[in-house]
Amino acid sequence: MWDEVKRLGAKAHETRIEARFKENSNRAAEFGLHALGMLFDYSKTHLDEASRAALVALAQTAGVEAKRDRMFAGEPINDTEGRAVLHTALRNLDGGPVLVDGEDVMPGVRATLDRMAKLAEHVRGSDVTDVVNIGIGGSDLGPAMAYLALKPYADGPRCHFVSNVDGADIADTLRTLDPETTMFIVASKTFTTIETMTNARTARAWLDDRGVSHEGRFVALSSNAEKAAEWGIPADRVFGFGDWVGGRYSMWGPIGLALMIAIGDKAFRAFLRGGQEMDRHFKSAPLHQNMPVLLALTGIWHNQVMGHATRAVLPYDNRLARLPAYLQQLEMESNGKGVTIDGDPLAENSGPVVWGEPGTNGQHAFYQLIHQGTRVVPCEFMVAAVGHEPDLRHHHDLLVANCLAQSEALMRGRSLDEARDICAEKGFEGAELERQARHRVFPGDRPSTVLVYPQLTPEALGKIVALYEHRVFVEGAILDINSFDQWGVELGKELATSLGPIVTGEASSEGKDGSTRALVDFVLRHRE
């Protein structure tokens, strides 16, 4: 099927995107999917009926549906680690049993959720003013992204997220806090991550140094109850989850505790419900009407078929400012692999580089390259129909207009003749007119998709996050990648461990390469 998709991809540029709308007045309806109250518009791409059908066939041939069913059935599809992939169980609020090794995990999931809710309500009703979540990667990005996204619903204590081992992160956070009214969450699936454990120890010392007992001030979110106990956090303050929840898929369970404390149990469950609705849609909708599948197919089309190495995620929603960073881990840690499940070299490119910033800010920064640079960057816009600031409706109108304008501009571009007219109006003439006009040409015919949702509510955020999770799954399944391990993060961790005593001067840098030695020398000399 790849051959057929690539054959169609090679001739896709023969018809400009804009011309496709002229040829087919129904194009927007045919290449736009309404589901779960949202609209995913992928009509401003080079996809046509034939290429979409070929991509759907590619997904079928890759066994996407069977792989999806194996995931939901709790089979160990993360087979380099021998683990099931069942983050969906964390939001299976009113669904049936979910079996792992023949055992239903749902009673445990519900009991943990209820315990989280009890603690969250207790904290919300206490004198705690600030909660610091200490975690990194999947134990940080999800709750940090969602806390900002759902600010209008945050009526509990303020939350802070400390992740970086750079002491600046925790120092700048603690400086603003009162030790008497601050609570710490140590979020780490493994409870061994060096950054998190270093920051947690610093937080404990901060309390000790101020004569405030750390008893009852720490909570642990981890799969490793033993390590949490060794660290001195009693079992009743440890919230566990199974190894069938991957770090970057974990915000739906205990790792979401900071969010739950901020927005309350009810809103948190609405977030879960949104995710569960997307799961149901993903499981039941036919591939050609399945939102995560179509989002994945546009991704495969742009990245593996058309050869564009990156994709920009551009939320026109300032509260989704951390979404691109969240998606960078979700997508790049999942599908940034070099081999297939069987260990053979990938025949296609791995998942793309994902990047982005909220609109309209990005427009005044990097959109220049998106519009006129020589590399094509497929753009994924998203925007809410309604904002949360009714008194500032005119702001939201401008936001929506800008989002839609960017998508339109990428498609239309501006021809040399149009640019000449503009320059003539400005009074340019002759060779100078020609030179000026060339600077004002936009090639256009650049693809983008737009996701529109009614409002950024907890439920909508749940749908959006689950949409992207399943998109990653489908792309990984088509590329025959294990999207659930992350061996690529290991080597750097190992080398950092060996460099630790070298940068303190306790061990010699002998045996390291010349560059590393020169860099270490510079650091050591500046410490003398």
Interface residues with ligand F6P (CB under 6 A)?
136-139, 188-190, 193, 196, 247-248, 333, 486, 489
Q: At its nearest, how many Å lie between ligand F6P and the CB of residue 212? A: 25
**Where do the H-state alpha helices sit in 257-392?**
257-284, 291-300, 323-327, 334-335, 367-372
Closest CB to ligand F6P among residues 40, 244: 244
Indicate the pairing of strand 130-134 with strand 353-355: unpaired
Tokens of residue 248, six digits? 């970057």
Q: At its nearest, how many Å lie between ligand F6P and the CB of residue 472? A: 14
Read off the DSSP letter of residue 352: P
| Residue 94, Cβ density class (10 Å: 0-12 exposed, 13-18 middle, ≥19 buried) | exposed
Q: At its nearest, how many Å lie between ligand F6P and the CB of residue 141? A: 8
Pairwise CA distance, residues 482 & 339, whole Å: 9
Q: Confirm whether 333 is a catalytic residue.
A: yes
- Annotated catalytic residue within 333, 357, 469, 475: 333
Closest CB to ligand F6P among residues 290, 486: 486
Pairwise CA distance, residues 49 & 69, whole Å: 27
Read off the DSSP letter of residue 305: I
- What order of strands is seen across the sheet that includes strand 379-384? 32-35, 38-41, 448-453, 379-384, 310-316, 353-355
- Say which amino acid occupies 134: I
- Annotated catalytic residue within 14, 364, 439, 526: 364
Encode burial over 417-433: b for 16+ CB neighbours within 10 A, e otherwise.
eebbeebeeeebeeeeb
76: left (phi over 0), alpha (psi -120 to 50) or beta: beta
Pairwise CA distance, residues 36 & 386, whole Å: 16
Closest CB to ligand F6P among residues 262, 330: 330
Closest CB to ligand F6P among residues 279, 333: 333
Could you tell me how many residues make up the chain?
Answer: 528
Tokens of residue 442, six digits? 């936009």
Q: At its nearest, how many Å lie between ligand F6P and the CB of residue 240? A: 12
- Tell me phi and psi for residue 46, to 5 degrees: -85, 5
Closest CB to ligand F6P among residues 165, 423: 165
Q: Confirm whether 493 is a catalytic residue.
A: yes
Q: Confirm whether 469 is a catalytic residue.
A: no
Closest CB to ligand F6P among residues 138, 352: 138
Distances from the Cα of 286 to the Cα of 72, 74, 211, 214, 464, angstroms: 17, 22, 61, 53, 19
Closest CB to ligand F6P among residues 333, 445: 333
Q: At its nearest, how many Å lie between ligand F6P and the CB of residue 246? A: 7
Q: At its nearest, how many Å lie between ligand F6P and the CB of residue 361? A: 27
Closest CB to ligand F6P among residues 43, 482: 482
Tokens of residue 259, six digits? 């969010």
Indicate the pairing of strand 32-35 with strand 218-221: unpaired
Q: At its nearest, how many Å lie between ligand F6P and the CB of residue 143? A: 12
Q: At its nearest, how many Å lie between ligand F6P and the CB of residue 189? A: 4
Task: Give the 3-state secondary structure of residue 450.
Answer: strand
Task: Give the 3-state secondary structure of residue 107.
Answer: helix
Q: How far is CA 71 from the centre of its chain?
A: 20
Q: Kind and range of the H or E element at 448?
A: strand 448-453
Catalytic positions: 333, 364, 493
